[in-house]
């Protein structure tokens, strides 16, 4: 009874904010036929590269001799096998068109599991608390940036969320745009025209998309686990074209294809991260909402192997102890306990905006002395 009463209250609050900002919930709908897919042959070529990747790079690094900190095993492997089972299953079947439709429906299936905020599509209609939380944050966003003009992201793939007139935005657009602004503003103290960005754990490419569109950003490189990289590759290659997005599948190809001086997006398995230390082109490292989910030794490995040219570290991660449902033994690493390398000075630390999850996260900016 208390739950029903809370829902009624949230529905009232929800409708009040929807009316205030003239919003309406929308869904482009799932794609169930190749006939409904635009630029079909281009997208088929993108999927062919995804299939080639799965054949050349093991999705759990089981055929690679890598540092223990980067291995995907234990409870995290079990978690991925559970929440991403449809993704692994469809890759194993190897049907090109089936994989294509699966990626076209990424906002409606498991491809964005673990890479999203507030609520997934399968329960959003009845999750009034999540929608209210999103709209509360949207209200704060409007106070900060005055309008929603820069909020919408790619319309190349069917999605769902809220609409204001012709502007459509999903549940990650708000945080991604604020993170992009934070990164761009943090670079303003340096005297360069173009910057090269390194991200660890870039999800499906929402932040990478916005950074690459910025006139201040030259290249964007993302290191992540293969399951997430393949989702990001489809999303970003559909938006920018195959020629602008390089999906790298081996250490050999890191050495031959990674050229941060080019205007390009590079997506690389985390297994090959140590190679990045040899590059002198990167200006900034960013990580949002994934360092805290790693072991302390893994965070240390990433930070110890930073490119020597890295001038700034921007991170938004857990500000309070949180236990995961998948294991009562695992607790997040708090952002204040990150092993930031010597030589970096903390210049900004504050509660992360937007304020989803009850101020759970904190944002920090570190500059090299």
Residue 307 contacts residue 198 (beta carbons within 8 Å): yes
- pLDDT at 1 > cutoff 70: no
Position 2 confidence tier, pLDDT thresholds 50, 70, 90? very low
How far apart CA 235 and CA 145 sit, in angstroms, is 26
When pLDDT is averaged across residues 119-125 and rounded to a whole number, the result is: 92
Indicate the Cα dihedral angle 265, 269, 270, 274, nearest 10°.
-80
Mean pLDDT on 286-315 = 96
The pLDDT > 70 percentage for the chain reads 92
pTM above threshold 0.85: yes
Taking the C-alpha atoms of residue 6 and residue 22, their distance in angstroms, rounded to an integer, is: 24
Distance of alpha carbon 54 from its chain centroid, rounded? 20
Give all domains of the chain, ordered by start, each with its CATH number. Answer: 2-30+118-171 (no CATH), 174-368 (3.40.50.150)
Helix axes 40-56, 96-104, angle to 10 degrees: 110
Residues 6+ apart with CB under 8 A from 81: 88
Strand partners, 145: none
Confidence bin at 356 (pLDDT 50/70/90): low
Which tens digits make up the pLDDT trace of 3-39?
554 555 656 566 777 778 788 999 999 999 999 999 9
User: CB–CB of 72/225 below 8 Å?
Assistant: yes
Terminal alpha carbon distance of the chain: 58
Token output for 263: 């205007």
Other beta carbons within 10 angstroms of residue 27's beta carbon come to 14
pLDDT single digits (tens) 255-300: 999 999 999 999 999 999 999 998 999 999 999 999 999 999 999 9
> For residue 329, what pLDDT is reported?
60
The whole-number pLDDT of residue 323 equals 60
pLDDT the model gives residue 358? 56
């Amino acid at each position: 009874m208390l739950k029903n009463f809370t829902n009624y209250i949230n529905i009232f609050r929800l409708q009040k904010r929807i009316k205030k900002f003239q919003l309406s919930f929308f869904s482009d709908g799932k794609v169930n036929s190749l006939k409904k897919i635009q630029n079909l042959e281009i997208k088929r070529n993108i999927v062919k590269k995804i299939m080639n990747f799965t054949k050349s790079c093991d999705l759990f690094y089981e055929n690679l001799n890598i540092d223990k900190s980067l291995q995907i095993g234990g409870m995290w492997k079990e978690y991925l096998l559970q929440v991403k089972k449809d993704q692994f299953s469809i890759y194993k079947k190897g049907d090109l068109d089936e994989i294509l439709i699966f990626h076209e429906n990424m906002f409606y299936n498991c491809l964005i599991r673990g890479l999203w905020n507030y609520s997934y599509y399968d329960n959003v209609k009845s999750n009034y608390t999540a929608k209210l939380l999103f709209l509360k944050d949207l209200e704060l966003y409007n106070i900060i940036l005055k309008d929603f003009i820069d909020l919408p992201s790619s319309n190349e793939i069917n999605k769902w969320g809220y609409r204001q007139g012709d502007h459509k935005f999903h549940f990650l657009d708000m945080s991604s745009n604020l993170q992009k602004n934070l990164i761009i503003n943090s670079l303003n103290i340096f005297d360069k025209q173009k910057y090269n960005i390194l991200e660890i754990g870039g999800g499906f490419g929402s932040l990478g998309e916005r950074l690459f569109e910025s006139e201040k950003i030259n290249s964007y490189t993302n290191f992540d686990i293969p399951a997430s990289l393949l989702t990001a590759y489809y999303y970003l290659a559909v938006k920018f074209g195959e020629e602008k997005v390089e999906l790298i599948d081996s250490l050999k190809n890191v050495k031959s294809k990674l050229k941060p001086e080019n205007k390009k997006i590079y997506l690389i398995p985390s297994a090959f991260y140590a190679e990045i230390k040899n590059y002198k082109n990167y200006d900034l490292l960013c990580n949002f909402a994934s360092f805290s989910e790693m072991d302390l030794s893994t965070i240390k490995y990433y930070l110890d192997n930073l490119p020597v040219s890295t001038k700034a570290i921007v991170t938004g991660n857990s500000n309070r102890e949180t236990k995961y449902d998948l294991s009562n033994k695992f607790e997040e690493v708090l952002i204040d306990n990150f092993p930031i390398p010597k030589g970096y000075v903390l210049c900004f630390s504050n509660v992360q905006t937007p304020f989803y999850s009850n101020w759970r996260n904190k944002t920090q900016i570190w500059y090299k002395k």
